[in-house]
Structure 1
Amino acid sequence: MISLNYYEPETQQWQPITFNQLPTQLPADARLWINLNDASVDEQQTILQHFAIAPTLAEDFGRQRHPPKLEAETHFTLLILRGYADVDFSEYSGSAQVNLLYSKQVLISRIYCHNASLLNQLKPQIKTTQSADIAEWIKHLILTVSASYLEKLINFEEEQSELEDGMLQRGTDEQMARIMRYRSVLRKINRNLAYQKDIFADAFYEEQNPLLRHFSATDVRDFYEKFERLHSMTDLYYDQLSDLVEGYISTTSHQINERMKVLTIVSTIFIPLTFIAGIYGMNFMYMPELQIANAYFIVLIFMALGGIAGLIWFKIRGWW
């Protein structure tokens, strides 16, 4: 089902209308928001054809999964953004994707979001008796998308500090599993933030950038700085988690080396003794040493001296 909200310049009020009531030519002061969240594919195509949206823009707008993107034609601009819809970084169910087609008077939106609270924040707020500037709505959506990351990143700082303290005291496999999950999620959102940062960074180098049609250079710089800061924070957290992983692996390797050193020392001492015991454990009838009355004690003393000599040698070499 298509949801249309129309601002009538004569009455100066917003009102819901049907597609059949849509004016063929919008008055200069009119505004229109078309919400396609609950629309079928056919209904969506009808709207896009009505406004003569270019096929390339229409195709990208209709996709549920698409990297953040900015593209423009003569009258309409396509902006695709991705917000973070999960509660924290312990899981990643998927991004909240915001697909927007907008001009000076018309906003066509389709939002894919499994978080009801965030979905509500991503809807333009209609004030019945007040005209809405489409650019202000787009600005609100961009800031909401950036805020969806910022809140989680700020909360994650404390979680990461606790993880770091736990790993320094005595790291566990469970903590390592949590760190690996966090790294996976941060890597995914880092890609989204990199795309979105680049969208706004390009506006500084392109005089005809589509963003500058509706926003001032100050606004675009503000958008860029927000996403650049978020991207830097995810880079920082990812690097810190990587350091914890490397530290845990180094500590574990050191512990294994210490255990292996003990086992090696024990093996080195007892292998010669086992060799001697093996020789005298052979069942031959004629063995010269068997006729010596004190042979048993002599062999034991020799074996004990060999073991002690080995320990002394390891101590001198600093291996023990």
Structure 2
Amino acid sequence: MILLSYFEPETSNWRDCPLAQLPTTIPADARLWINLNDASQDEQQQILQRFAITATLAEDFSRQRHPPKLESQSDFTLLIMRGYADADFSEYTGSAQVNLLYSNQVLISKISCNNPTLLQQLKPQIQTAKSSHIADWVKQFILTVSASYLEKLINFEDEQSELEDVMLHSGNDEKMTLIMRYRSVLRKINRNLAYQKDIFSDALYEEHSPLLRQFSTTEIRDFYEKFERLHSMTDMYYDQLSDLVEGYLSTTSHQINERMKVLTIVSTIFIPLTFIAGIYGMNFVYMPELQMPTAYFTVLIAMALGGVSGLIWFKIRGWW
């Protein structure tokens, strides 16, 4: 289903408009928003052909999943962005895919988002009896996408601090599993943010960037700084979680080494004693020591002295 909102300059009002009733040439002071969220593939193609969108842009716009991208033709600009739709970083069910095709008068949007609140925020703000600038709508999309990450990252700072305290005093495998899940999610959203940061970074240094048609250099720099800050935050949190993992593994390895040291000391002491017991446990007929009245007690005393001497030696050497 195609949803069209058309601003008529004659009446200065917005109205729902069937595609068949659209004027062949849209007046300069008219505005049009076409919502393709629930449109079929055939309906999408109908709209794209109606506005003569090139095949390359049409293909990228129609895809369900596409990395963030900025591209343009003579009249229309394609902007693809990804927002964060999950409640926190404990799971990653998929990004909010925001596909936009826009000109000075027309905005064509297709948004895939499983978060109703974020989906509502990603709707252009239509003011009754007032025309809107397409650039303002696009700016709203950009700021909403960046805000979808920022809120989660700010909340995650407190949770990570708690994780650091827990891992310091009572780290366990359950917490390690949670940390590894967080790292996986942060790595995925870091890629999305890197793409989007590069879009605005390139626009700052390209003289003919499509974004310069609607936005000033100051606005583009602001977009870039927002996504650069988000990208830096995910890098920082990922590195801090990696430090927690390495610290936990180092602590666990040290604990294992301590246990192995105790087992080694015990083994070192009992191996000679086992050797002696093994010798006198052999069933040879001629063993002179067996005829000695004090042989049993002599061997026990010798074994005890050997064990104690080993412990004293380890203590002197600082191995125990």
Query: TM class, shorter-chain normalised?
Result: over 0.9
Amino acid at match of 2:244: L
* Aligned residue in 2 for 1:180: 180
For the 8 Å contact 1:30–1:105, the answer to whether it is kept is: yes
Where 1:79 maps in the other structure, the secondary structure is strand
What displacement does 1:204 show?
1.5
What displacement does 1:135 show?
0.3
* CA distance in 1: counterparts of 2:285 and 2:127, whole angstroms: 110
Q: CA RMSD in A?
A: 0.6
Where 1:89 maps in the other structure, the secondary structure is coil
Where 1:164 maps in the other structure, the secondary structure is helix
* CA distance in 2: counterparts of 1:222 and 1:53, whole angstroms: 29
- After superposing on structure 2, the runs of 4+ consecutive aligned residues of structure 1 that deviate more than 4 Å are none
Deviations 1:44-101 (A, max 9, x none): 0000011110101000001111110000111110000000000000000000010000
* Aligned residue in 2 for 1:280: 280
Q: How is 1:156-167 mapped onto 2 (pairs within 5 angstroms)? A: 156-167=156-167
Amino acid at match of 1:231: H
* Aligned residue in 2 for 1:61: 61
* CA distance in 2: counterparts of 1:318 and 1:67, whole angstroms: 59
* CA distance in 1: counterparts of 2:81 and 2:261, whole angstroms: 55
Runs of at least 5 residues in structure 2 that lack an aligned partner in the other structure: none
Deviations 1:135-177 (A, max 9, x none): 0000000000000000000000000000001111121111111
* Aligned residue in 1 for 2:316: 316
1:122 maps to 2:126: no
* CA distance in 2: counterparts of 1:299 and 1:116, whole angstroms: 83
Where 1:6 maps in the other structure, the secondary structure is strand
* Aligned residue in 2 for 1:82: 82
* Aligned residue in 1 for 2:168: 168
Deviations 1:222-267 (A, max 9, x none): 0000000000111111111111101000000000000000000000
Q: Output the TM-score relative to the length of structure 1.
A: 0.99
Runs of at least 5 residues in structure 1 that lack an aligned partner in the other structure: none
- State, as a whole percentage, how many aligned pairs show the same letter: 79
What displacement does 1:284 show?
1.9
Where 2:101 maps in the other structure, the secondary structure is strand
* CA distance in 1: counterparts of 2:131 and 2:282, whole angstroms: 104
* Aligned residue in 2 for 1:141: 141
* CA distance in 2: counterparts of 1:113 and 1:312, whole angstroms: 70
Q: Output the TM-score relative to the length of structure 2.
A: 0.99
* CA distance in 2: counterparts of 1:63 and 1:279, whole angstroms: 80
Amino acid at match of 2:41: V
